[in-house]
């Protein structure tokens, strides 16, 4: 197995994050699929609240034992909350979830906000905006054999022989801000039915505080699973990576300034844990 992590950080007039993950195996979708698409366009002086939740957990649709009791499994999860009060909000978002075509989950979003009275260090602030967005991809593969599964992320299938080793993969990325002026552009793509990939880009420029985080967890067993996992096998490779960054401006002295780019790549299947990276992001 070969792995590559590239981290580039620089100071600039922008907060940006790019995170990419490529891994295998893909998990074929179920025969009865779905397509969900929503478009949101809001321009409002006052209060704007927008929330979204998505969770798709499924088993390999090409396997004969495609119920959640065995085989390769995938989970795509997304969560977003925005609230802007006492200010001017422009909120534009397109959300697409597609079980049959890639990317299986895609979100593109532009948010601008201007408080009625930004925090300038002199006058009493009036208005604020908060935004939190996180996405996760989890792949559980028993390798060359299919075993029982008692809860998707409780599977640690490292105790039997087979052609392909058992692997777990957990990836999460996201961003959040609290600001009185903000221009944010976010883009997300997740693929599970072809080469598993998570790409998250965020660009935030404003006054207040902004942060972004990225978590990767990979595990590989010595062999495939012959029967239901008992969590007592051999793990031959375990990789963890976590990174976060925060920019915070001083009231009255201008906007925060930050640029960040991250890339992770692996050549073979891998990870997950009892609490997924998605669940731990921004805890």
- Kindly tell me if the per-residue pLDDT of 242 is higher than 80: yes
**Quick one: DSSP state of residue 278?**
H
In the predicted structure, residue 166 carries a pLDDT above the cut 80: no
Global pTM reads 0.78
How far apart CA 93 and CA 109 sit, in angstroms, is 4
**Nearest in space to 186 (alpha carbons), one of 105, 91, 109, 134:** 109
> Are 172 and 178 within 8 A, CB to CB?
no
String of DSSP letters for 87-130: EEEEEEEEEEEESSSSSSEEEEEEEEEEESB---SSSPPB-EEE
Whether 183 and 208 have beta carbons less than 8 Å apart is answered as no
Q: How does residue 86 score in pLDDT terms, banded at 50, 70 and 90? A: very high
Share of the chain above pLDDT 90, in %: 39
How many Å apart are CA 109 and CA 131, to the nearest integer? 12
Please indicate whether residue 90 or residue 259 has the higher confidence score (pLDDT): 90
Comparing 194 with 277, the larger pLDDT belongs to: 194
**pLDDT computed for residue 27 by the predictor:** 86
Provide the mean pLDDT of the chain. Answer: 76
Q: What's the average model confidence in pLDDT over 246-272?
A: 64
Mind listing the pLDDT tens digit for each residue in 24-70?
Answer: 478 889 888 899 999 999 999 999 999 999 999 998 866 544 444 45
Using one digit for the tens of pLDDT, what is the confidence trace for 105-139? 999 999 999 999 998 888 888 999 999 999 999 98
Q: Which pLDDT value is given to residue 168?
A: 83
Rounded to a whole number of angstroms, the distance between the first and last alpha carbons of the chain is 31
* 139-152 confidence digits (pLDDT tens): 887 775 433 333 34
Residue 11 pLDDT greater than 80, yes or no: no
165 or 78, higher pLDDT: 78
> pLDDT digits over 213-233, tens only?
989 888 877 665 544 344 445
**Domain segments of the chain as ranges:** 3-280
């Amino acid at each position: 197995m070969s792995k590559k992590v590239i981290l580039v950080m620089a100071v600039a007039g922008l907060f940006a994050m790019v995170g990419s993950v490529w891994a295998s195996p893909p998990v074929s979708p179920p025969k009865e699929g779905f397509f969900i698409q929503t478009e949101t366009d809001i321009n409002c002086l006052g209060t704007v609240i927008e929330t979204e939740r998505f969770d798709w957990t499924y088993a390999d649709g090409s396997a004969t034992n495609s119920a959640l009791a065995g085989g390769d499994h995938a989970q795509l999860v997304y969560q977003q909350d925005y609230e802007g009060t006492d200010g001017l909000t422009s909120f534009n978002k397109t959300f697409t979830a597609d079980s049959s075509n890639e990317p299986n989950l895609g979100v593109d979003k532009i948010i601008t906000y201007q408080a009625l009275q930004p925090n300038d260090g002199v006058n009493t602030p009036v208005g604020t905006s908060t935004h939190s967005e996180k996405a996760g991809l989890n792949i559980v593969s028993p390798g060359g054999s299919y075993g029982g599964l008692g809860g998707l992320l409780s599977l640690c299938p490292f105790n039997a022989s087979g052609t392909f080793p058992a692997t777990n993969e957990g990836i999460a990325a996201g961003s959040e801000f609290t600001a009185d002026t903000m221009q944010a552009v976010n883009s997300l793509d997740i693929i599970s039915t072809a080469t598993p990939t998570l790409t998250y880009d965020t660009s935030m420029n404003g006054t207040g505080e902004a942060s972004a985080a990225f978590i990767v967890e990979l595990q590989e067993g010595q062999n495939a699973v012959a029967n239901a996992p008992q969590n007592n096998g051999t793990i031959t490779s375990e990789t963890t990576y976590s990174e976060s960054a925060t920019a915070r401006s001083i009231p009255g002295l201008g906007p925060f300034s930050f640029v960040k780019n991250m890339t992770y790549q692996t050549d073979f299947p891998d990870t997950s844990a009892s609490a997924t990276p998605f669940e731990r992001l921004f805890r």
